[in-house]
Structure 1
């Protein structure tokens, strides 16, 4: 009985053997590439290439860039991938100037610290210097200046801290365009009205009102002025009811139609 010779398919089809070899080579190259990629990542993370090179601080006015960076504890030795954003944000908790902090990576080597400070809503004068006041009533004693730019009102006679806080809270609620129209706010408490204030406006009018609900009533100031003769200046009363008192004839009987702010 004769034996049959077994011939492999690879011997019969040489091209198939060559194709399998190429496939094995490609697989080897793939695994080697993954291996060297992982090695490269490890080397990168352990080398100065992954360190922070630049720290950008934006949005800060009251705090200097140096103060913000020192508070964040970031340095050029910090690994950009090991930054704990929550930890940096928590470092600014309790700061009366800072409203919020956002930390962003800007690859390959830059970190941005975006500061949101409480808005400056006014100034207070002490001796011969002016100091900015934030919306939370904080007076920035480090930022004294000899003049003010007119972007926020000057608060006068606000010696009581509680009253100052109430006033700044109301100013925070005002749109910037109306707040910038107020030149001065004088606190003039009376026996029957401890919250009485008098405003001097940049357009020549005066406003007589109270701290309570001041923002709500003052938001309609542009609508009130639009009903008046621009040549006749006087006092706009926005306390109980709204009426205009001219400087010239001292009349108090011109009622003004109240407009509800949207």
Structure 2
């Protein structure tokens, strides 16, 4: 526990992410209306009116309200896509690493197939086929992000299966699923925890890129869609893209700091330093 409090990166990442999570949780309370509602004169610069501290966009929508509501969508996509990637990658990696042989060969060839395809272009293709929605975006990002998790888990599973306690469990006749659940997974999950925070950051960036290209869910507002909407006024009202762009940057940095901090805490070598 003391190592947690000594990790500045971890504490900074947690502070940033807790602030974003609080903004997302309070969105309906602070701004109960629809963030797409036109509430004031268009193109109000930040601080021009106290009621709209971040100004309004080209249609007169409150940017502050949009930022709060968009935080929920961006976090939902990031967490959902990372969860899907971790579930698929962990399943593939643990089966390949534990059983080896033909199972390892087949699953690693499948992993390599996914890795050879440009993940962003593959995500665009999936979103276009499935029609832009939060569900299709989460699925597209998650299903293109699992290979890195599978390789991490496979390497850890191959290491753990050589341990004496695993050999003892096999000798005692414990079933393979029980061995995987009780011994392999708990001792292989540490690097996955660190990688998951990076995956969430990547998913938020990918969702922003998809929304910027017009492939976001048109029924909800996200930071990426706000950046895309403001590009038409970039020369005259750059704040429309700068404000949500800064939010994306801060959120990504928060998850990166969290990942670095978790790596310091979970890495056994850091304890000896």
More strand by share: 1
TM bracket, shorter-chain basis: under 0.3
Which structure carries more helix by proportion?
2
Max radius of gyration: which structure?
A: 1
TM-score by length of 1: 0.20
Which has the higher relative contact order, 1 or 2, with Cα contacts under 8 A spaced 6 or more apart?
2
